[in-house]
Every structure is written in C-alpha cells, then in structure tokens.
Structure 1
Amino acid sequence: MSLMQATCFIGTLYSCYLSFTLIKFVLSVLKTMLLGGSIEFRRYGSWAVVTGCTDGIGKEYARQLAAKGLNIVLMSRTKEKLEAVAVEIEKDYNVETKIIQVDFSGGHEIYDAVLKELDGLDIGVLVNNVGASVSFPEYFHDISVEVIWRQVNVNVMSCAMLTRMIIPSMLERKKGIIINVSSASGQFPMPLTGAYGATKSFVDRFSKNLHNEYNDKGLIIQNVFPFVVATKMSGVKRESLLTPFPETYVASVLGKVGVAKECFGYWPHELQAFITMLLPEWLQVKIVMNVSKRLRARALKKREAKKDS
C-alpha cells in the first residue's frame, strides 16, 4: 500500500468515526426530546434531599422539585440562607421543608448528626450538588492545603457519604433517584483547576459504578456534567446560549431523568461537548491552558490592585 493509499484509508476511517459520532449525538438529543419529562418524581418518595441548595443550580433543583410536589430537605452550611430558602419554597409551592446546617468540609464525624436528621423520612430523590472550587485558575502548588482539603471533602466525601446513608431505604422500597452533579471539567483536560477537575472525575466514575450496581434494583442514577452556568460560583452574571441561568439548565436536566443516565444537561452544552470531543487532547489542553492563564493573570492583577488601594 502506497503512502497516498494509506493516507486515504486513514482519512476514510476518521470520516466514518466523525459520522458515527455525529449520528450518535443526534440520536441522543432526539431520544431525550421525545422520551424525556415522563418521570413522576413524587412516585419515588415524598421527600427530596438537595445539598448546596442556597444558591445557583442547587437552589433551582430544590425549587423545581418542590414545584413537582416534593417536600425538600435543604442542606448547606449557612443557617440564615437555609432559612430564607425554606421560607421561599414553602410560600411558593405549599410543601414542607427541613433544613440541615452542615459544613461538608468537615470529616466523617459530621455525618452522624446528618443521619439522625434524615431518619424516618421517605426520601425518593437525592441531589448531590454541593461543590467547592477555586476562585480563579491557579497552579496546584500555589493552592493552600485548606482549599485542597475542602475540595476533596465537599466534592467527593459528601457525595459518597450521603449516597451511602440514603440508598439502603431506596433499596428497601425498590425505587429512588440519585442525581450527581459532576462537571465538564471532570470530562476534559482542565489545567490550573487544581484538584477540582479530579474530584469531579470521581463523581463521574462513582455514578457509573452506582448505575451498574443498582440499575436492576429499581434505582435511577443520573450523572450530570454542566459546562458554565450563570451562577455566583461561576462568576457569570448574564445568560447566553452557552451560559444559561440555573432555571433553564435544571429544567432541562430534570427532563432527562430516567432517559439519559449521563448527560451535559442542556442541548448547547451537549453540542459544546460534542465539538470538544472532536479535538485532539493536546489541542484541548492548549486552548484551556491559554484561557486559564489569562484568567489567572487578570485575577492576580485585581488582587494586587486591592492591596494597593
């Protein structure tokens, strides 16, 4: 085989791969559009537990599940914010709420009190949403030990421990829904995010393993990888096609429960992921590294300006 023939053969194979990937993407979008939104959440239990629920995506999960008739257990670290969200949800949706103040950056000892608070509740839905990131892209050696500890405990241990607490009662009833909020940074190379991307990769693999273990036992596991959503955590204030407000994003994700075991949640994010997957990894790294360095430089400049003022 000549060099030209080999090149043509490789090009044909790559074209077939691209065509197959595109067809797979289109079928996935069509499947969720045609079959999504059919889950009756209240049939799985009368309570939903939502972590990291006082702002952004978590708060919207709590609101939209309450709108579906579920009572809501609100879990976060700031009591005043929890109380405010509880009042808002009870007033708007006429459901019960229960607040559990907890700082998930703590060790295993924090979970004994949480377990007591959850005891006896008919929990049908668990949303593991709470997360801790860094305020701007940074090299790992410049991130404090405290921040690394917080990222691992908040992003990894909360997801594992709450699932371990709640899943036995779901198995007894042979029904339950667990939604784990990972991140696109757990799917693609994200230099200068420290441990954050790695913790979100844990959530991804953990969710896959849960699905394989419990799919035949009546449990639905959904694994979600959002790109940028316009929230306080992301620092984005304006909605756009690629950065939706939490209301838009969560409504889209909840419509996929029971249809897509893993998803980027929102069709422009699905398209963004599809395009990213077509790029070689070295190019993904180069693009993200350049953007991250610019964001880092801008953040450090602002920090210095504050010191001088």
Structure 2
Amino acid sequence: MPEFTPFGALNPALATLGAVVAFYAVFRLVTSLLNGLKAFFLAGPLGLSANVKNYGDWAAVTGATDGIGKAYAEQLAAKGLNIILLSRSEDKLNNVAAEIESKYSVKTKTIAVDFTGGEEIYTKIAKEVAGLSIGVLVNNVGISYRFPEYFHEIPDRQKMLMNMLNLNCMSVTQMTSIVLPGMLDRKKGIVVNVSSASGMQPSPLLTVYSATKAYVDYLTRALQTEYASKGIIFQSVLPFFVSTKMSKIRRSSITIPTPTAFVRSALATLGIEDRTNGCLSHSIQGWVVDVAPAWLVNKVTVSMHLGIRKSALRRLEQKKVN
C-alpha cells in the first residue's frame, strides 16, 4: 500500500516555500544586526554620521524646554549650531536659552508659541525665522493621553482630540513647510521628526496618539523618498519608553534611557538610518515588534495598557478621597 502524504505533490513546493520564509527571517535578523552595529557602534568612531554643522548655522527644535526636545537642543548646540527654541512657556524658553548660551557659547532665539493653535501661529513663526540659515529642524512637540483610556472615555474628548491633532500632526507638517524651501535653495538640510514606537503598530487605548505618530512616521518616510536626491535628510525617530515627563517614568534603565542618552545615540544614526528607534535597546524592541504576529503585539499592548489604566484610576480615586 503506498504511503499517504497529506499534500502529495505539493510537499516539494511547501518545503521550498518554508525554506524561503526561513531564509528571509534570517536575512532580516542579520541585516538588523549589521545595521545596529553600524549605527550604534561604528558611526561615532568612524565618522559615518551626518555632520550637522555642514547643513546650516541654525537648528530649530519644537517642544524644546523638556525631555527629548531639550536634549536635542543641547546636543545640537554642543556641535556648534545656534538654536531656535520653540515651546509654549516663555519663562522656560528663556531659562533653557540662557543655559545653552552659557554652556555652549552659541546664539539662541526663542519663539513662545502654543502649537494647539491654528494657521496664525505658523505665520508668526515664518516671520520670526525668515532669513536664518536653518540646517536642522527637529519636530518634537507633542502630547499623549494622561493614561491609557478607551476612546469614548477620554476626558474633555473633543478639545483633547483637536489639541492632539494640532500638536502631533499639524506642527510637523507646517514646520516642515516653513523650513524646507530654504533647505532646497541651499541643496542641503536635515529634518528629524520624533514619532513613537506606538506608531509602528496600532496601540489600543492610546488609539489617537498612536494614529498621530503613525502619520508622523509615514509623512517622514514619504518625504525622505521625495527629497533624498535633493540633499535633504528626513529621519523618523520612533522611541519606546524614555524617562521623560510625558512617559511619567523617572528612573532610567537599560531599556529606558535618559533623554540625553537617547538623543546622543539617535543623532549618531543621522545619515545612516532614515527610520530608527534611536538607541540599541529600543532597536531590539522594535525588531521584536516587527517580527511578532500582530495579534500577539495587540494582546500584550492591551494587557499592559489596561494595567496602567487601572493603576491611574485607582490613584485618581485616592486623590478624591483625600
């Protein structure tokens, strides 16, 4: 009696397909490891990163008074660039500007602006920066939820949604629109858009934040393709947790870097990676998210966010009692 095979003549084809899939998975892993080695270990010593000083005299940074934005402003100043600081609080802007001028001996310019506003704020910004040779733009300003929440239960939902869209999406688009013509005239420029790992895949209970960060990532990747041949570098930065006020994480660790450590690592990838998670530990996490099944990523994300939500609601109840 002949031996029964479930797929008969298809077995060789399935074996070939399995080999191709396995080869592709190994290829992606090896490529990721080599890219990580180049970006995080060789770029600095070998001088492979883009030299920001060659792109212009000024760097503009939005959301520049705290966290990742402030770290970008400081480290770009350390490389010799004059800094345009854009944020809402004039007092904080003046303090950061004074720190940078004192420590790095560069010029600063402050523009106090609320990015939840509309078209009028960009008219103001365009006038303020006219004539300046802006070689680097860092679009960092943004907001997230106070804590993970179901869409229909977001506090003051209508206002919050509009503010988030203006801060996270409109600011990136409009600021790029302001500085890009000058970069094209000089045939060089760098635009760094700070997205988020939450934008790599849908992030339930941070739904709108996740969607806005996906917008930032897609916008940046498309612009990089449009303008790479014109001397402009667009880079999408997708961090996981960093110890900032937004993340509400105070202590840093191997997987949760300080803003300074994160930005130092991310800047080393300029000119090497168009899309980066910024540092080695985050890149490893990003690789896991990329290769893991979407259903598993969603399950882990929902579980984590529900736990954070539960703790946050408990703290709010305790405050009401006290």
Percent identity over paired residues: 47
For 2:96, the aligned partner's letter is V
Q: How many residues of Structure 1 are paired with residues of Structure 2 in the alignment?
A: 309
Equivalent-residue separation in structure 1 for 2:245 and 2:72 (angstroms) = 15
Q: Which residue number corresponds to residue 202 of structure 2?
A: 189
- 1:155 and 1:89 map into 2 onto residues whose CA distance is 26
Is 2:113 aligned against 1:109? no
2:253 alignment counterpart: 240
2:319 maps to what in 1? 306
Alignment partner, residue 300 of structure 2: 287
Q: Which amino acid aligns with 2:103?
A: D
Q: Are 2:141 and 1:130 aligned?
A: yes
Q: Who is 2:185 aligned against?
A: 172
Conservation of the 8 A alpha-carbon contact between 2:202 and 2:211: no
Structure 2: gaps of 5 or more residues? none
Segments of structure 1 that go 5 or more residues without pairing to the other structure are none
Aligned to 1:2: 6
CA drift of 1:140 comes to 0.7
- Give the Å deviation of 1:278: 2.2
Match of 1:16 in 2: 23
Give the deviation of 1:110 after TM superposition: 1.2
Equivalent residue, structure 1, for 2:105: 94
- The aligned residue for residue 44 of structure 1 is 55
Distance 2:204 2:293 in 1: 15
Say which is worse superposed, 22-31 or 69-78, in terms of deviation: 22-31
Q: Distance in 1 between matches of 2:7 and 2:299?
A: 30
Offset at residue 18 of structure 1 (A):
2.2
**In the alignment, what sits opposite 2:42?**
34
Q: Aligned residue for 2:235?
A: 222
Partner of 1:152: 165
Task: Measure how far apart 1:26 and its partner are.
Answer: 1.1
8 Å Cα contact 2:62-2:138 kept in structure 1: yes
Please state whether the residue corresponding to 1:203 is helix, strand or coil: helix
Contact 1:124 1:170 in 2 (8 A): yes
- TM superposition shift of 1:134: 0.6
Opposite residue 29 of structure 1, the aligned amino acid is G
1:104–1:153 contact (8 Å) kept in structure 2: yes
Give the letter aligned to residue 297 of structure 1. Answer: K
Contact 1:189–1:284 (8 Å) recurs in 2: no
Q: 1:24-43, CA deviations, whole angstroms, 9 ceiling, x for partnerless residues?
A: 21121123233455322111
In structure 1, how many angstroms separate the alpha carbons of the residues matched to 2:308 and 2:234?
A: 35
Contact 2:59-2:76 at 8 Å conserved across structures: yes
Determine if contact 1:86/1:97 at 8 Å carries over to the other structure: yes
- The counterpart of 2:85, out of the listed 71, 74, 77, is 74
Tell me if the contact between 1:69 and 1:95 (Cα under 8 Å) persists in the aligned partners. yes
Structure 2: distance between partners of 1:217 and 1:10 = 40
- Offset at 1:9? 5.7
Partners of 2:242 and 2:249 within 8 A in 1: yes
Shift of 1:14: 3.9
Q: Give the conservation status (yes or no) of the 8 Å contact 2:86–2:111.
A: yes
Give the superposition deviation at 1:212.
Answer: 1.2
For residues 283-302 of structure 1, the C-alpha deviation after alignment (integer angstroms, 9 at most, x for no partner) is 11011101111111111111
Residue 55 of structure 2 contacts residue 135 of structure 2 at CA under 8 Å; is this kept in 1? Answer: yes
Using the TM superposition, name which of 133-142 and 21-30 deviates more: 21-30
Shift of 1:11: 4.8
Q: Which residue of 1 aligns with 2:309?
A: 296
| Alpha-carbon distance in structure 1 between the residues aligned to 2:85 and 2:28 | 40
Match of 1:63 in 2: 74
